[in-house]
Amino acid sequence: MNTKQKVSLKIICEKLGDSKINFLINKLQESEKKDITTFEIQEWTRLSTDYSQEFLELLNSFQCIETLCLAMEMQNMLEIKQLEYNKNTKLIMTGPIPGKNIGYTLGNFQTLLETAKKEIILVGYVFNNINNQMDPIIESLLSATSRGVNVKIFFQKGNSSNSLHDIWKKSKNNILPELYVYKPREKNSVLHAKVIIKDQTSILVTSANMTGSAMTKNIELGILYDGKLAIDARKMFSDLIDEGFMVPVS
């Protein structure tokens, strides 16, 4: 297809939607006429006169109807995939400017922890609870372990793990999370990822560390995604444990 055909095809498919595209494809395939009129296109699709005329020009630019029908099917699949992607992906931020369709870091962290049913994997470079700013996250984590959610937490160094371990002891919660620290095999290699994975279904990848400033004050940005990538990310951290790069904290 040339550029003009691609643009017209995209516009028409966006106007029609999935069900009307399939209906139009069936009508085109059933039609034995070589010369289809604008009126017939309008009758089949309920498109305006201008868009019906544009589709007719698109139809006439193809050598055969079958080729156009195949192109429409492919474009429709792309549109459906894009809709799924938009539905499953959300921008998450900490910052001073509110925005449409933007979620905030602290609230989304809490939601993931509070809605987990089986497992939480939490990865960060550092954790601190200066001025008790991380109390909402701590409470959500304690609640998750109390209701039987398996919590694995990965840090760059032991200080953060020790802080969380002490918090669990003070809370008298007997169900401790699995705490791990990074054991690099190359000089200057660090665990710098900030990730939370819920039930192998949702993953938040963010610039925010597990600190009060990152959750509420800094400018931080991340992506929350529902889908297979959560499984892939979980496997990566499972492999890091198996290969000895992540060492359990006693």
Q: Are residues 226 and 121 in the same domain?
A: yes
**What is the domain-level CATH number for residue 188?**
3.30.870.10
Q: Are residues 140 and 231 in the same domain?
A: yes
Nearest to 128 by CA among 249, 220, 213: 213
Q: Are residues 113 and 55 in the same domain?
A: no
Q: Are residues 160 and 239 in the same domain?
A: yes
pLDDT at 32: 66
Q: Count of domains in the chain?
A: 2
Domain that holds residue 243: 95-248
Residues 18-33 have pLDDT tens digits of: 888 888 888 888 876 6
Q: Are residues 77 and 106 in the same domain?
A: no
pLDDT at 132: 87
- Does the pLDDT of residue 63 top 70, yes or no? yes
Nearest to 167 by CA among 181, 153, 156: 153
pLDDT at 17: 85
User: 155: which residues sit within 8 A by CB, 6+ positions away?
Assistant: 124, 125, 126, 127, 161, 179, 180, 181, 182, 191
* Full-model pTM: 0.69
Residues 227-247 have pLDDT tens digits of: 889 999 999 999 999 999 999
